[in-house]
Amino acid sequence: MTTADARTPASKQNDGTPDGAIPDDGAGKSIGWHKGYVQGSRPDLRVPVRQVHLTNGKDVTLYDTSGPYTDPAIDTDVRRGLAPLRENWIIARGDTEEYAGRPVRPEDDGVKHTSPRGGLRNLDAVFPGRPRQPRRSRDGRPVTQLAYARRGEITPEMEYVAIRENVEAEVVREEIAAGRAVLPANVNHPEIEPMIIGKRFLVKVNANIGNSAVTSSIEEEVDKMTWATKWGADTVMDLSTGRNIHTTREWVLRNSPVPIGTVPLYQALEKVDGRAEELTWEIYKDTVIEQAEQGVDYMTVHAGVRLPYVPLTARRKTGIVSRGGSIMAAWCLAHHKESFLYEHFEELCEILATYDVTYSLGDGLRPGSIADANDEAQFAELRTLGELNSIAKRFGVQTMIEGPGHVPMHKIKENIDLQQEICEEAPFYTLGPLTTDVAPAYDHITSGIGAAMIAWWGTAMLCYVTPKEHLGLPNRDDVKTGVITYKIAAHAADLAKGHPGAQEWDDALSDARFEFRWEDQFNLALDPDTAREFHDETLPAEPAKTAHFCSMCGPKFCSMKISQDIRRQHGGSQEEIEEGMAEKSKEFAAAGNRVYLPIAD
Amino acid sequence: MTTADARTPASKQNDGTPDGAIPDDGAGKSIGWHKGYVQGSRPDLRVPVRQVHLTNGKDVTLYDTSGPYTDPAIDTDVRRGLAPLRENWIIARGDTEEYAGRPVRPEDDGVKHTSPRGGLRNLDAVFPGRPRQPRRSRDGRPVTQLAYARRGEITPEMEYVAIRENVEAEVVREEIAAGRAVLPANVNHPEIEPMIIGKRFLVKVNANIGNSAVTSSIEEEVDKMTWATKWGADTVMDLSTGRNIHTTREWVLRNSPVPIGTVPLYQALEKVDGRAEELTWEIYKDTVIEQAEQGVDYMTVHAGVRLPYVPLTARRKTGIVSRGGSIMAAWCLAHHKESFLYEHFEELCEILATYDVTYSLGDGLRPGSIADANDEAQFAELRTLGELNSIAKRFGVQTMIEGPGHVPMHKIKENIDLQQEICEEAPFYTLGPLTTDVAPAYDHITSGIGAAMIAWWGTAMLCYVTPKEHLGLPNRDDVKTGVITYKIAAHAADLAKGHPGAQEWDDALSDARFEFRWEDQFNLALDPDTAREFHDETLPAEPAKTAHFCSMCGPKFCSMKISQDIRRQHGGSQEEIEEGMAEKSKEFAAAGNRVYLPIAD
C-alpha cells in the first residue's frame, strides 16, 4: 500500500484547525499521524487514510472520513465548496447530460410570496460557490451504480471503495449487483469520497443534522456536518424542517465529502405550511426533483405507510413516532385514500434512477417504545418494504431499508433476520435500537447497546442517536458524542463479525497500553483529545506520559509492570520469555496436568 | 403495598441536598417523588422505595438504593454513621458474640512506626462515631445467610430482599440455599439495607471507589460512596491502595447503606511496602480478619491464580492486567511456590464463615485486551474457581465468581455459559466486558454494551467502568456517568430477561412521553436532572414543559401530536378509537388482506 505524504501535525486532529506548525521527530515523519492517500489505478483515484505513526517506528493505517479538511496541502473554503472529485468519472461514462433544471423558488426556502418577512434571513445565505447546472440521465435509462454493476462494470467509485475496505473490486461489484450493498452517489454530488453500505463491509454510521422551526442556522448545520465527518460519520442526513431548507442543503452538499441523505417529505410539508392533508404527489415529486438536482445521495421515502396499517397503531403505547410516518398517516386518513407515495412508487423509481439517488425505504411505523416493539404494524410495513424493494431493483434503483427504533435486546435479532429475508438481503439501516425507555439524556447509550448487537447480526449502517434524543436539538458536543458512541458500536460489530483487519486497531492500542506508550494510546484512540485530557487530569506532568505506571495503581505497584517484570525475569526476547516460562511450568507438570480437570479431580 | 409517608421534594433528588422547602401540589402529596417504605412482617422491617407521583394522579414505585440520605425524616451525619438497622436481627439469632477484636495498628493505615511523617494525615480522620466491638460466630460454626437458608430459615434479611424484588421470601431462600444467589451481609455491617445478587433477581451494579498512592482523600471517598448509591449503585467496592486504608474503610462502612466489597490483598501489599514477594499467608490472614471485623461484606480473593497458569500468560498481548492477579503471579514466581491463597483456601473459608463475609472469587487472569479474550489462561483459572466454589459451599460461605474484562461480542456468551456450568450456577459478577479496545475515555460505553449482553444471558451483578478507565481515577462526575451507564445495561437486561414488572417503568415513561407530560418524563428518568437540563437548553420557557410539542419538530407539526389527532378523529375512549379505526380499515379490506402477504402476492 503506497501512501502519498500530506503531512499533518498531531495537534491538528486534536484542535481541528487547518493551520499550525508541523512538529517533526527528525526522522522526516510527522509526529502522531498524517493524512495519507492510497493510489488507485488512475491518477485521480486517491483514497484518503489516516496514518498513525507510533513511537516504536511502526505505522497503523485507519479508515478516514474527514475529507479534504484534514489535509493541510488542500486549501478548503466553505464559501467555494469542495473540488468535484468524481466529475470526470461521471462525464466519462457519457450517459448523463447537463440541463437547465428546475428554477429555485422562494417557497423552496419556506418563504411565501406573501410573507411579510420575505426572502432569506440574509442574502449572504445564498451559496456563493461556482455556478453549476444539474445533470441527469441522457436517455432516462438508469445511471446507477447498481445498473453498472449488473452490466459487469467496475466503476472508479467501486474501485475507490474496494481500496477503502481493503477487498477486491469484484467483491464490491458483486455485492452491489446483488442488491446486498449500496454505493450512494448522486451524479449531482461529485464532491463525495465514495463509500459503500453492505453487511460484507465495515459497519457505517450516519449522523443527523438539520435546523428546525425552533432553532439553529445554516452556518451551524454546515459546521455540524464537517464536525461529524471529522469524528467518523460515514454519511450525514440533513433533516432541516425550518426556513432556508433549500439553501442550507446547498451549502451542506457543496461542502460534504460524504453522501448526504434527506427526507423530502419534510420539505414538501413546509411547502404546504405544515398541513399534511394539503400534500399532493405533484408537490412531493417536485421536491424530490429539486433535491435530486442539488445532489442528495439518498432519500428516505415512507411509501410503506399504507392506509390499512394506520388502525394497527391504535392500540400502541406511543402510536406513530416517525415524523414522516405520521405525516403520511395523517394524509391517508384525511383523504381516506391509499398513500400517494405507495401509489406513485414506480414513477418515483424512474426519477431516482436518472440521478442515481438511493432509496432509504423509511420505517414510518417503527416502534417508539419498548412496549410497541416487533408489533403487527411494524412488521406489516416491513413486508410492504420488501415488496417496494423488489420494484426499486427492477428499475435499477439502489435501495436500503430502514429499521427501528425502540426494541428490547431479546427482540432485536428477529428484526434483522426478518428484514434480510423479506428484503432479499438489502442493506439494513437502523436507528439504534434503544434497548430501554427509562434513560432520556443517555439514549446514545441505551441505543448504542442495541446498535452494536444488530450490527453484529448484519445491519450495514447505524443511524446515530445523540444524548439530546427525545429532549432537544443536538449541539456540537452532542454530535461528537453521538458519532463516537456509534463508531464504538460499529467497530465492536466489525470485530464480532471478524471483519478482516478490524482487530489490528485494537491490537495496536493494546500493545501501546501494555508498553506504556501513552502518546501512541492517545493517537490511536477514537477520540485522542479526550483520552489525553483525562490522563492529564490525574497525572498532568509531561514525564507521566512516559512513566511506566499510571494513576490507577501508582508508581509503587502496577500490574502491567509486574507482567513485564515476569517476562524480563525469564529472558529478553519473546522466544526466550516463552522458553523460560515453559521451563518454570515444567516444574509443575503434575499440577499443570491436574488443573485442566479440577472438577473431575 | 402500603407505603409510609416520608415526604421529599422533587428538587431533593435533583440537587441531592437534604433541606429545602417541600413544594406541594395542594392534593396533599409532594410533587415529583417521595421516599416511601414498604412495611414488612415486623415493625423494624421497612423496605425503602422511590415513589414517583405522576401528574395524571398515578404513582410508580421504583427500587431505591440511596439509603437514609434521601429521607428528610432521618437526620444523617457522616461523623456519627448510619443507624444499625440489622443489629437486633443479628443479636436475636443468638449465634454471634462480641469480642475484643484485633487491635488497630499504625501499619493498617500504611504507617510505619519508623515513618518520619507518622500517624494519619490528620487526627480528624479517625472515625468519631459510636464505639463498637466486633462480632463473630459464637462457636465457629457458619453464621451465613447460606447456612440459614439451608436450614430452611427465612431471615429478616431474606424477607427484606423478597419485598425489594417483589418475589416470595421462599424463592429468596431457595436461591441462596442452592448457591445461585448471595445476600452479602457481614454481621459487623448492621447498617446495610439487605440486597440480593442472583440471576433470578434484578441485575445489580457495583461502583468502585478508593484512593490511590497518587491521589484523593477520605472525605472524597465517603462522598463518592453516597453519591454512587444516590444514582443507583447496589454495592460499592473500596479499592483504596494509598494511605489511611483502614480509616477510610471505617468511614465508608459506617456510612454505607449498601454492602461493601474489598480486595484484602491490596492492603496486605501496602503492609509489605508494595513488595509482592514479601507477602505471607499470616499477613494476608491478619488483614482479612481486620477487614471482617470492620464489616466488609464481600472480599475479592484471587486464589485461582496458580503458579502453573502464569506461563500461560506469556504469549498474551497484555499479560496479566488484574492487579490482584499480578501480585499473586509475582509472589508465585518469586518463590516458585503454589499460591498461598490456594494452599490456605479452606482455612480462609473457616474465617469468612464466622463473619458471613461473601467470597468474590477474583479472575486474576482475565483478559486485558480483545486479543487475549477466552484464552487458555483465563479458562484454566475459571476451572479452578469452580473447584474453589465447591469448597466454599462446603464451608457454608456465600460465593460469587468474577468475570472479564475485555471480550468481543461474539465471545461473550461462552463466558457466562462456561461459568454457570463450571461454578454450579453461582452468581457471575463481571467487569463489563469491554467489546473493543480503541476507545479510551469512552470505556463506560465500550463495556456497557458487553455488560448489557452478558447480564441478559445470566450475569447477576455488573461492576461498573467509568470514562476514566485506563486513564485516571474517576471523579464525582465519572462515578455518576459510570453508575447511570451500568443501570441502563442492568435494566435493559432485566427487560430482556422478562423480569416481572421491569417493563412497567419503561411503559410509564413512554406514556408520559406520548402525552407530553414532560415533568413526569423527568421524574421517571434514571437521571432527572440531566433530562430536565437538556430539555431546557432548547426550550427554556416554563410553558414548554406543558407544550404539546417538542424542539425536534416544533409547534407546526409533531408526530406524537398527529398520532393523538388520529385517535381523537376516531372518537374519545380507547374502545371508540379502535372501533372507528376498524371501521376505516374495513373500507380497505381487500388491500387489508393483501398487505399481509405482499411477497406471495
> What pLDDT is attached to residue A478?
96
Q: Which residue has the higher pLDDT, B478 or B131?
A: B478
> What pLDDT is attached to residue B217?
78
CB pairs under 8 A between A and B: 474
Residue B329 neighbours by CB under 8 Å, 6+ apart: A562, A563, A566, B305, B310, B313, B320, B364
Is B438's CB within 8 Å of A471's CB? no
Of A322, A383, A559, the CB nearest to B595: A383
The reply, when asked if residue B237 is annotated as ligand binding, is yes
Alpha helices, DSSP H, located in B87-144? 87-93
Q: Looking at the structure, do residues B469 and B557 belong to the same domain, yes or no?
A: no
Q: Is the Cβ–Cβ distance between B397 and B358 less than 8 Å?
A: yes
> What pLDDT is attached to residue B13?
35
- pLDDT bucket at A462, cuts 50 / 70 / 90: very high
Residue B444 neighbours by CB under 8 Å, 6+ apart: B464, B465, B466, B467, B469, B481, B482, B485, B486
Whole-number percent of chain B with pLDDT over 90: 73
| Amino acid letter, A342 | Y
> Is residue B518 a part of any domain in this protein?
no
Q: Which of A376, A459, A552, A594 to mutate to test the interface with B (most CBs of B within 10 A)?
A: A552
Rounded Cα gap, residues B216 and B238, in angstroms: 13
> What pLDDT is attached to residue A80?
93
> Is residue A70 a part of any domain in this protein?
no
> What pLDDT is attached to residue A460?
98
The burial class, CB within 10 Å (0-12 / 13-18 / 19+), for A122 is exposed
Per the annotation, where are the binding residues of A?
Answer: 208, 237, 266, 302, 322-324, 363-366, 402, 406, 429, 470, 550, 553, 558
Q: Where are the beta strands (DSSP E) in A353-418?
A: 358-361, 399-403
Alpha helices, DSSP H, located in A63-133? 87-93
Q: Looking at the structure, do residues B312 and B403 belong to the same domain, yes or no?
A: yes
Rounded Cα gap, residues B88 and B185, in angstroms: 14
Q: What CATH number does the domain containing B388 carry?
A: 3.20.20.540
Of B336, B436, B569, the CB nearest to A492: B436
- pLDDT bucket at A568, cuts 50 / 70 / 90: low
Closest CA to A160 of A44, A68, A72, A61: A44
Q: Are strands A46-53 and A59-63 parallel, antiparallel or unpaired?
A: antiparallel
Domain count, chain A: 2
Q: Looking at the structure, do residues B407 and B270 belong to the same domain, yes or no?
A: yes
Q: Is the Cβ–Cβ distance between B191 and B81 less than 8 Å?
A: yes
- pLDDT bucket at B477, cuts 50 / 70 / 90: very high
What are the grid coordinates assigned to A166, written together? 481493503
Q: Looking at the structure, do residues B469 and B561 belong to the same domain, yes or no?
A: no
Task: Provide the shortest C-alpha distance from residue B189 to chain A (in Å).
Answer: 28
Half-sphere exposure of A174 (CA within 13 A, CB side): 8
Domain end among B433, B449, B475 = B475
Task: Provide the shortest C-alpha distance from residue B85 to chain A (in Å).
Answer: 31
Q: Which residue has the higher pLDDT, B107 or A361?
A: A361
> What pLDDT is attached to residue B259?
98
Residue B577 neighbours by CB under 8 Å, 6+ apart: A314, B567, B570, B571
Of B325, B408, B555, the CB nearest to A495: B408
Using the predicted structure, report yes or no on whether residue A511 has a pLDDT greater than 90. Answer: yes
Place of cell 469484484: A170
SS3 category, B97: strand
Mean per-residue pLDDT, A253-266: 97
Task: Provide the shortest C-alpha distance from residue B87 to chain A (in Å).
Answer: 36
pLDDT digits over B505-553, tens only? 999 999 999 998 999 999 999 999 999 999 988 766 655 565 555 555 5
Q: Looking at the structure, do residues B391 and B282 belong to the same domain, yes or no?
A: yes
Q: Which residue has the higher pLDDT, B299 or B15?
A: B299
> Is residue A365 a part of any domain in this protein?
yes
pLDDT digits over A195-232, tens only? 999 999 999 999 999 876 555 678 888 999 999 999 99
Is B386's CB within 8 Å of A467's CB? no
Is B383's CB within 8 Å of A595's CB? yes
Domain end among B447, B475, B503 = B475
Q: Which of B510, B514, B575 to mutate to test the interface with A (most CBs of A within 10 A)?
A: B510
> Is residue B233 a part of any domain in this protein?
yes
Task: Provide the shortest C-alpha distance from residue B438 to chain A (in Å).
Answer: 5
Place of cell 408526530: B559
Q: Which residue has the higher pLDDT, A19 or B403?
A: B403
Q: Which residue has the higher pLDDT, B221 or A144?
A: A144
Whole-number percent of chain A with pLDDT over 70: 81
Q: Is the Cβ–Cβ distance between A300 and A261 less than 8 Å?
A: yes
Place of cell 470485530: A495
Q: Which residue has the higher pLDDT, A528 or A564?
A: A528
Of A329, A496, A566, the CB nearest to B410: A496
Cis preceding-peptide flag for B433 (omega within 30 of 0): yes
Cis preceding-peptide flag for A405 (omega within 30 of 0): yes
> What pLDDT is attached to residue B565?
63
Q: What global pTM score does this model have?
A: 0.90
> Is residue B206 a part of any domain in this protein?
yes
Is A318's CB within 8 Å of B560's CB? yes
Nearest CA in chain A to B538: A472
Using the predicted structure, report yes or no on whether residue A356 has a pLDDT greater than 90. Answer: yes
Is B470's CB within 8 Å of A269's CB? no
Query: Which residues of chain A neighbour B383 with C-beta distances below 8 Å?
Result: 595-599
Direct distance between the N- and C-terminal alpha carbons of chain A, in angstroms, rounded to an integer: 54
> What pLDDT is attached to residue B438?
98
Q: Is the Cβ–Cβ distance between B326 and B222 less than 8 Å?
A: no
Rounded Cα gap, residues A481 and A537, in angstroms: 20
pLDDT digits over A409-454, tens only? 999 999 999 999 999 999 999 999 999 999 999 999 999 999 999 9
Domain end among A456, A475, A494 = A475
Nearest CA in chain A to B559: A323
Rounded Cα gap, residues B341 and A17, in angstroms: 55
pLDDT digits over B405-449, tens only? 999 999 999 999 999 999 999 999 999 999 999 999 999 999 999
> Is residue B537 a part of any domain in this protein?
no
* Adjacent-strand bridge partners of A52: A33, A60
Q: Is the Cβ–Cβ distance between A206 and A461 less than 8 Å?
A: yes
The reply, when asked if residue B332 is annotated as ligand binding, is no
Full DSSP string of A156-172: HHHHHHHHHHTS-HHHH
Using the predicted structure, report yes or no on whether residue A16 has a pLDDT greater than 70. Answer: no
Nearest CA in chain A to B588: A308
Query: Which residues of chain A neighbour B265 with C-beta distances below 8 Å?
Result: none
Mean per-residue pLDDT, B262-276: 94
SS3 category, A300: strand
Output the average pLDDT for chain A: 86
| Cα dist from B347 to A85, B282, B288, B296, B299, whole Å | 74, 11, 12, 18, 15
What are the grid coordinates assigned to A427, written together? 442493506
Is B383's CB within 8 Å of A535's CB? no
Rounded Cα gap, residues A173 and A188, in angstroms: 22
* Adjacent-strand bridge partners of B50: B35, B62
The reply, when asked if residue B366 is annotated as ligand binding, is yes
Angle, alpha carbons B271-B276-B279 (nearest 5°): 55
Closest CA to A60 of A26, A20, A32, A92: A32
From the DSSP assignment, how many helices (H) and strands (E) are in chain A?
A: 22, 15
Q: Looking at the structure, do residues B451 and B582 belong to the same domain, yes or no?
A: no
Q: Looking at the structure, do residues A221 and A350 belong to the same domain, yes or no?
A: yes
Residue A30 neighbours by CB under 8 Å, 6+ apart: A7, A8, A9, A10, A22, A23, A24, A53
Q: Looking at the structure, do residues A139 and A227 belong to the same domain, yes or no?
A: yes
Rounded Cα gap, residues A571 and B98, in angstroms: 53
Task: Provide the shortest C-alpha distance from residue B441 to chain A (in Å).
Answer: 5
Using the predicted structure, report yes or no on whether residue B14 has a pLDDT greater than 50. Answer: no
Task: Provide the shortest C-alpha distance from residue A85 to chain B (in Å).
Answer: 31
Q: Give the range of the structural domain holding residue A564, as residue numbers without chain letter.
A: 553-591
pLDDT digits over A119-176, tens only? 444 435 678 887 889 999 999 999 999 999 999 999 999 999 999 999 999 999 999 9
Q: Is the Cβ–Cβ distance between A232 and A65 less than 8 Å?
A: yes
Rounded Cα gap, residues A465 and A442, in angstroms: 9
Helix (H) or strand (E) holding B147: helix B145-150
Longest dimension (CA), chain A: 93
Of A317, A320, A563, the CB nearest to B510: A317
- pLDDT bucket at B127, cuts 50 / 70 / 90: confident
Q: Looking at the structure, do residues A375 and A277 belong to the same domain, yes or no?
A: yes
Using the predicted structure, report yes or no on whether residue A497 has a pLDDT greater than 60. Answer: yes
Using the predicted structure, report yes or no on whether residue A245 has a pLDDT greater than 80. Answer: yes
Q: Where are the beta strands (DSSP E) in B10-148?
A: 33-39, 46-53, 59-63, 96-98, 135-137
* Adjacent-strand bridge partners of B113: none
Rounded Cα gap, residues A486 and A454, in angstroms: 12
Nearest CA in chain B to A412: B496
> Is residue B2 a part of any domain in this protein?
no
| Residue-level length of chain B | 601
Rounded Cα gap, residues A444 and B484, in angstroms: 12
**Sign (positive or negative) of CA dihedral B310, B312, B316, B321:** negative
> What pLDDT is attached to residue A18?
32
Is B449's CB within 8 Å of A489's CB? yes
Of B489, B534, B587, the CB nearest to A472: B534
Of A213, A489, A522, the CB nearest to B555: A213
**Strand order from edge to edge, sheet including B59-63:** B33-39, B46-53, B59-63
Is A214's CB within 8 Å of B551's CB? yes
- Report the range of poorest mean pLDDT among A81-85, A157-161, B261-265, B567-571: B567-571
Q: Which residue has the higher pLDDT, A170 or B572?
A: A170
Cis preceding-peptide flag for A467 (omega within 30 of 0): no
Cis preceding-peptide flag for B571 (omega within 30 of 0): no
> Is residue A9 a part of any domain in this protein?
no
Query: Which residues of chain A neighbour B562 with C-beta distances below 8 Å?
Result: 276, 320, 326-327, 329-330
Q: Looking at the structure, do residues A439 and A576 belong to the same domain, yes or no?
A: no
Mean per-residue pLDDT, A234-248: 91
Q: Looking at the structure, do residues B435 and B572 belong to the same domain, yes or no?
A: no
Mean per-residue pLDDT, B60-70: 97
Place of cell 425536534: B552
The reply, when asked if residue B304 is annotated as ligand binding, is no
Closest CA to A6 of A70, A82, A83, A76: A70
Of A452, A563, A592, the CB nearest to B308: A592
> What pLDDT is attached to residue A211?
77
- Report the range of poorest mean pLDDT among A85-89, A493-497, B161-165, B580-584: B580-584
> What pLDDT is attached to residue A214?
53
Q: Looking at the structure, do residues B465 and B564 belong to the same domain, yes or no?
A: no
Output the average pLDDT for chain B: 86
Q: Angle between the A245-255 and A264-271 helix axes, to the nearest 10 degrees?
A: 150
- For residues A395-415, b (16+ Cβ closer than 10 Å) or e, as one string? bbbbbbbbbbbbbbbbbbeeb
Longest dimension (CA), chain B: 93
> What pLDDT is attached to residue B500?
86
The reply, when asked if residue B463 is annotated as ligand binding, is no
Q: Is the Cβ–Cβ distance between B134 and B293 less than 8 Å?
A: yes
